[in-house]
Amino acid sequence: DTGVSQNPRHKITKRGQNVTFRCDPISEHNRLYWYRQTLGQGPEFLTYFQNEAQLEKSRLLSDRFSAERPKGSFSTLEIQRTEQGDSAMYLCASSAGLVGQPQHFGDGTRLSIL
């Protein structure tokens, strides 16, 4: 297992366009998390899944954002009608979901809005 994989690594798009990111977690992990990180800040929690169920969403996740994990394996994060403020690093992490278990992070997708 190569760990958590995220694609693409970089995405440059024009304001107003839609973008979709993919995350492949560690195969035996049932929890999957999405974070956003901007310069000088720590990762900010966006949402997480337990298997295919989306259990918690942050207020940061506006109605332009949607995340799915259709079969409890990979997940996608879509941003519609992108805005300048969406420029950030989007991180995915997975964990075994047991108490005290750490998260394993991917390399992230860097989104730049022109």
Partner 1 sequence: AQRVTQPEKLLSVFKGAPVELKCNYSYSGSPELFWYVQYSRQRLQLLLRHISRESIKGFTADLNKGETSFHLKKPVAQEEDSAMYYCALTGYSGGYQKVTFGTGTKLQVIP
* Residue numbers at the binding site for partner 1 (CB under 8 A): 3, 31, 33, 35, 40-45, 48, 55-56, 91, 93, 99-100, 102-108
User: Which of 106/113 has CB closer to partner 1?
Assistant: 106
Q: How far is the CB of 14 from partner 1 (least distance, A)?
A: 28
**Cβ at position 113, least distance to partner 1 in Å:** 23
DSSP structure string for 26-37: -TT--EEEEEEE
User: Which residue, 68 or 107, is less far from partner 1 as judged by CB?
Assistant: 107
